Amino acid sequence: MKPIRSLAFVINAEKAGAVGLGRELVSLARAKGVRLKQTTRYPLPRGYLHGCDACCVIGGDGTLLGVVREAALEEVPLIGVNRGSLGFLTTFSPEEARSEFESLLEGSFHIDQRAMLECRVAGGRPNLALNDVLIKDEVTSRLVLLEVSADRELVTDYLCDGLIFSTATGSTAYNLSAGGPIVHPRADVIAMTPICPHTLTNRSIIFRDTVKLRVLNRSKGARLLVGMDGHGELKAASNEPVDISISRLRLPLAQRKGYSHFAVMRTKLKWSGGVAERI
């Protein structure tokens, strides 16, 4: 990759150690003559990343998700430094960030282009999600009746607490907690997972990348909440369609050279790994 000459920092000041680490990395970048801008605000205002070569996010995955829309629109790679918990998206540890930051500034990283979801409610403007779109009752956790169709063909009706529509990237988030499958991040698919369905045979369904999904609220008098990555929230009244598909936009996510997705999975999910080598 080309060297970074203009860099934005997004720092979650509520995360322990994030501000101090930010100062260290800012100093390293300034010493290299990199043009800098920094903020503790997220989600980012429109146009904040315009003209930047990259954006360094210091916090947890939730912090990074608040930067995703602008990064995708401006095609700015995100460098995620983890000061949260699991950190599937913020893959650089503080130690790795300190030791490798000068190399990153020189362009020693590769870009992983992650698929995103596009969601429209009642034909409105498109909204983006990197991880997932959640559809549930607006106020309570009561059951909702949701009709799902794929490319205008009825899939089925779900009587459930809600539905999760996940990208491959988001398959290790709410989807995984709800019993959904883990999907390799380079698989351009949509995973649909019902939350506590009242039919035991209702399980996750994997749809191809070109599918056009539609969800209709068939619960009388109930309004739906449509959440995107835990940040954006829309409302859908009875019979208002919620349309979901894979977006033409991609999120450029910076990864260090030699990054291994399965090594991250073994570490974050505490898989045993390497058992055969110890026998």
- Same-domain pairing of 103 and 26: yes
- The whole-number pLDDT of residue 15 equals 96
- The whole-number pLDDT of residue 267 equals 84
The domain that contains 167 carries what CATH number?
2.60.200.30
Quote the crossing angle between the two packed helices 18-31 and 94-105, to the nearest 10°: 20
Tens of pLDDT, residues 45-104: 999 999 999 999 999 999 999 999 999 999 999 999 999 777 889 999 999 999 999 999
- The whole-number pLDDT of residue 188 equals 93
- Same-domain pairing of 150 and 225: yes
- Same-domain pairing of 143 and 124: yes
* Number of other CB atoms surrounding residue 8 within 10 Å: 26
Domain of 36 in residue numbering reads as 6-109+256-278
The torsion defined by the Cα of 171, 172, 177 and 183, in degrees rounded to 10, comes to 40
- Same-domain pairing of 137 and 209: yes
- The whole-number pLDDT of residue 274 equals 60
- Asked if residue 60 belongs to a domain, the reply is yes
- The whole-number pLDDT of residue 273 equals 61
Which of the residues in the chain have pLDDT under 70?
A: 232, 273-279
- Same-domain pairing of 80 and 30: yes
- Asked if residue 123 belongs to a domain, the reply is yes
- Same-domain pairing of 39 and 143: no
- Asked if residue 1 belongs to a domain, the reply is no
- The whole-number pLDDT of residue 71 equals 98
- Asked if residue 27 belongs to a domain, the reply is yes
Catalytic residue selected from 53, 61, 132, 161: 61
- Asked if residue 14 belongs to a domain, the reply is yes
- Same-domain pairing of 94 and 200: no
Contact 214, 243 (CB under 8 A): yes
Is 61 noted as a catalytic residue in this protein?
yes
- Specify the number of domains making up the chain: 2
